[in-house]
Chains A and B, each alone.
Chain A
Amino acid sequence: MNWKFDINRNTFEIIMKICKPAIITAILLLGSLPASARSSQPATLQPAIIQPDQSGEAILRKVDQNLSSKNRVFESTMIINGRRSTRSVTSKSWSEGDKKSFSEYLSPAAEAGTKMLKLEGQLWIYTPSADRTIQISGHMLRQSVMGSDLSYEDMMDDRKLTDIYDSKVTGKDTLQGRDVVVLELTARLTDVAYHRQKMWIDAERFVPLRQEMYAKSGQLLKRMELSNVERIQGRWFPKTMIYKDMLKEGKGTEFRITKIQFDAAIPEHIFSKASLR
Chain B
Amino acid sequence: MEWLSIKLAFRNLMGSGKRTWLNVTVLSIAFVVIVFYNGLLDGWNLQAKRDTKAWETGSGRIDHVLYDQFDPLSLVDAHAPLGDMLKAEIESGRAVAVLAVQASAYPNGRMVNVLLKGIDPAQKTLLLPTAALDSGRVEGDPAIPVIVGDRTAKSAKLKEGDVMIVRWRDVNGTFDAREVRIAGIFKTTVPTVDGGQLWMPLEDLREMTSLYGEATYLVLSDEVIASGDFDSTGVLSGEWRYVDENALMKEIDDIIKTKRASSMIMSMLLLGIALLAIFDTQILSIFRRQKEIGTYIALGMTRLRVIGIFTIEGTVHSILAILLGLIWGMPLLKLIQYVGLPMPAGTDQVGLAIADKIVPAYSAGMIMASVVLVIVTSFIVSYIPARKISKMKPTEALRGKLL
Interface of B, helix, strand, loop or mixed by DSSP = mixed
Check B152 against A1 for contact (C-beta < 8 Å): yes
Identify B111's interface contact among A2, A137, A248, CB under 8 A: A248
Interface string of A3-25 (1 = CB under 8 A from B): 11111100000000000000000
A269 at the interface (CB under 8 A from B): no
Q: How many Å from the CB of A154 to the closest CB on chain B?
A: 11
Residues of B within 8 A of A137 (CB): 73
Q: Which of B112, B173, B176 contacts A191 (CB 8 A)?
A: B173
A124-132, A212-220, A260-268 - the one binding chain B: A212-220
Chain A 222-251, CB within 8 Å of chain B: the 1/0 string?
A: 000000000000000000000001011110
By a CB distance below 8 angstroms, the chain A residues around B170 are 216
The residue of chain B having its C-beta at the shortest distance from the C-beta of A4 within the complex is B351
Measured as residues with beta carbon below 8 angstroms from the partner, the interface class of chain A is 20 to 34
Chain A nearest Cβ from B280, distance in angstroms: 48
CB neighbours of A140 from chain B (8 A): 73
Minimum CB–CB distance from B73 to chain A (whole Å) comes to 4
Q: Are A5 and B172 in contact (CB under 8 A)?
A: no
Interface membership of A35, Cβ < 8 A: no
- Chain A proximity mask over B235-273: 1 for CB below 8 Å, otherwise 0: 000000000000000000000000000000000000000
B window 94-145: CB within 8 A of A = 102, 104, 106, 108-114
Kindly state the separation between the CA atoms of A93 and B113 in the bound complex, as whole angstroms: 30
Q: Mark A140-155, 1 if CB is under 8 A from B, else 0.
A: 1011100100000000
- Report B151-173 CB contacts with A as 1/0, cut-off 8 Å: 11001100000000101011011
B residues 61-118 in Cβ contact with A at 8 Å: 68-73, 76, 102, 104, 106, 108-114
* Cα A217 to Cα B204 with chains together (Å): 14
B351 to chain A: closest residue by CB: A4
**Residues in chain A within 8 A of chain B (CB atoms):** 1-8, 137, 139-140, 142-144, 147, 187, 190-195, 213, 215-217, 219, 221, 245, 247-250
Are the C-beta atoms of A2 and B351 separated by less than 8 Å? Answer: yes
Known: A221-B177, A247-B106. A139 touches B111 (CB 8 A): no
Which residue of B has the minimal Cβ distance to A195? B174
Within the assembled complex, what's the spacing in Å between the Cα atoms of A139 and B78? 13
Chain A neighbourhood of B178, CB < 8 A = 217, 219
Are B109 and A248 in touch, CB under 8 angstroms? Answer: yes
Q: Kindly provide the distance from the CB of A222 to the nearest chain B CB, expressed in whole angstroms.
A: 9
Minimum CB–CB distance from B362 to chain A (whole Å) comes to: 31
Give the interface size bracket for B toward A.
35 or more
Are B175 and A139 neighbours in the complex by a CB distance under 8 Å?
no
| Given known contacts A1-B112, A6-B70, A248-B110, A216 and B196 CB-to-CB distance under 8 angstroms | no
Whether B114 and A1, one on each chain, are in contact in the complex, defined by CB atoms closer than 8 angstroms, is yes
The CA of A245 and the CA of B195, in the complex, are separated in Å by: 24
Instruction: Check B167 against A2 for contact (C-beta < 8 Å).
Output: no
Which of A6, A190, A247 gathers the greatest number of chain B CB atoms within 10 Å? A247
A6 CA to B192 CA in the complex, in Å? 12
Contact status B70-A5, CB under 8 Å? yes
Interface residues of B in 188-226 (CB under 8 A from A): 191-192, 194-196
Report yes or no: B174 in contact with A190, Cβ–Cβ below 8 A.
Answer: yes
Given A1-B196, A7-B70, A139-B76: A215 in contact with B191 (beta carbons within 8 A)? no
With A2-B195, A217-B177, A245-B111 in contact, is A191–B172 under 8 Å at CB? yes
What are the residues of chain B within 8 A of A191 when measuring CB–CB?
172-174
Complex A-B: 10 CB contacts under 8 Å? A1-B152, A142-B169, A144-B104, A144-B113, A194-B174, A213-B175, A215-B175, A217-B178, A219-B167, A247-B177
Q: Smallest distance from the beta carbon of A211 to chain B beta carbons, Å?
A: 15
CA A139 – CA B76 in complex, angstroms? 8
Q: Are B172 and A190 in contact (CB under 8 A)?
A: yes
B302 contacts chain A at the CB level, 8 A cutoff: no
Chain A residues near B194 (CB-CB < 8 A): 2
- Is B347's beta carbon under 8 Å from chain A? no
Could you say which residues of chain B place their CB within 8 Å of the CB of A248?
106, 109-111
Bound complex: CA of A143 vs CA of B72, how far in Å? 11
Question: Which one of A4, A147, A221 contacts B167 once the chains associate, using CB atoms below 8 Å?
Answer: A221
Write out, one digit per residue, whether chain B residues 338-359 have a CB within 8 A of any chain A CB (1) or not (0): 0000000000010100000000
| Contacts A144-B104, A193-B174, A247-B177 given; does A2 touch B151 at CB 8 Å | yes
| A193 contacts across to B, CB distance below 8 A | 169, 173-175
Query: Which chain B residues lie closer than 8 Å to A216 at the CB level?
Result: 170, 174-176
Nearest-Cβ distance from residue A148 to partner chain B, whole angstroms = 9
A16 to B: closest C-beta gap in Å: 12
Cα–Cα, bound, A213→B167 (Å): 13
Q: Closest CB of chain A to B16's CB: distance in Å?
A: 55
Known: A1-B152, A217-B177. 19 other contacts (CB 8 A): A1-B156, A4-B192, A5-B72, A7-B70, A7-B71, A8-B72, A139-B73, A140-B73, A142-B169, A191-B174, A192-B173, A193-B175, A195-B176, A213-B175, A219-B165, A219-B167, A221-B177, A247-B109, A249-B110
Distance in angstroms from B158 CB to nearest chain A CB is 12
Cβ contacts under 8 Å, A8 to chain B: 70-73
> A195 vs B175: C-alpha distance in the bound complex, in angstroms?
7
How many angstroms between the C-alpha atoms of A250 and B108 in the bound complex?
Answer: 12
